[in-house]
Amino acid sequence: MKIKHSKYKNTGILFELLVRQITADTLKGGDSPAIDILKKYFVKTTLGSEYKLYESILKSKVLNEGRANMVVTTILESSQRFNRSSLRKQKYNLINEIKTHYDLDVFFSAKIKNYKELASLYTLIEGYNQDSTPNTQQLIENKITLLEYLTKKEIQGAEVKEDVLKEFQSYDKDLRILTYKVLLEKFNTKYQDLSIEQKQILKEFIESVDSNPRLRTFYNTKIDELKTTLTKHSKQIKDKPTQIKITEISKLLVKVDKNNKVSNDDLVDLLQYYELIKELKISNGIQI
């Protein structure tokens, strides 16, 4: 379900408009009711705490893509700590109080400098905290908007993220978030693309999450596959020290026994081992 942005519910925009209104009232030489409204609703309140999430975007220095992704992820995780019912009530009361002192149409007609970024963060927060499945494409586009704002550069590889995440958009919230975090947090700063094998691992992990025996069987099969592939490619490597390293890596590939579960770390390790395979294929001139 696509999330509709609302200026009336966007904490970042509400704060910015109140500050703008205080400036306008002061320039006119009169008292500004917006000062008391801002103090009442944004000082030591849940609404004020949520605004700090928006502020952390607006006041951020230029970051590299990895740090920018970490900032956005932390903001979304922090948003889950707030009482959504309390936030809705505070916003409702805030709008009513603004309406008492100002014409809402005029109040909300002011242009906001970072409107696009504030709207993107609002949509992400709402999507992250709703029970129903949101529009995955919308969430990806909004996150890219924030990453580009924080890094001050165009984010590459968006199509890859879209292709993978579209495969999982029908799954429930917890699984979608897990996949999203693994893909963007673990690989966004290191790898520009995912191989067919890596996509298959992500998909199997999602589909088998409630069936540990199936996931364990899949994982162990992949471990065998990796050992065979590493042995094959190590023979094609002329550099002896590199050959030895590959052999040592193969020894680290251990199956999960029937008494243990496949963990998130096991998943990430598997993805990283296939990244190594991809690099070996490139170095050996093999088409991927």
Residues 38 and 28: their CA atoms lie apart, in Å, by: 19
Instruction: Provide the pLDDT for residue 287.
Output: 47
Token couple for 162: 């879209």
pTM for the full predicted model: 0.56
Question: CA 79 → CA 57, 123, 138, 277, distances in Å?
Answer: 14, 12, 18, 38
Token couple for 66: 């990895």
| pLDDT tens-place values along the chain, 288 residues long | 788 999 999 999 999 999 989 988 887 877 899 999 999 999 999 999 999 999 999 989 988 888 888 899 899 999 999 999 999 999 999 999 999 999 999 999 988 889 999 999 999 999 888 877 777 788 888 888 899 999 988 766 554 355 445 545 544 445 445 554 555 454 444 545 567 777 777 767 656 655 678 888 888 999 898 888 888 877 777 777 777 778 788 888 888 888 888 876 777 778 778 878 777 777 666 543
Token couple for 42: 């944004």
Instruction: Provide the pLDDT for residue 38.
Output: 94
Q: Which residues of 102-121 are buried (b: 16+ CB within 10 A; e: fewer)?
A: beeeebbeeebebeebbbbb
Instruction: Provide the pLDDT for residue 102.
Output: 95
Q: Kindly tell me the sign of the dihedral angle through the C-alpha atoms of 97, 102, 104, 110.
A: negative
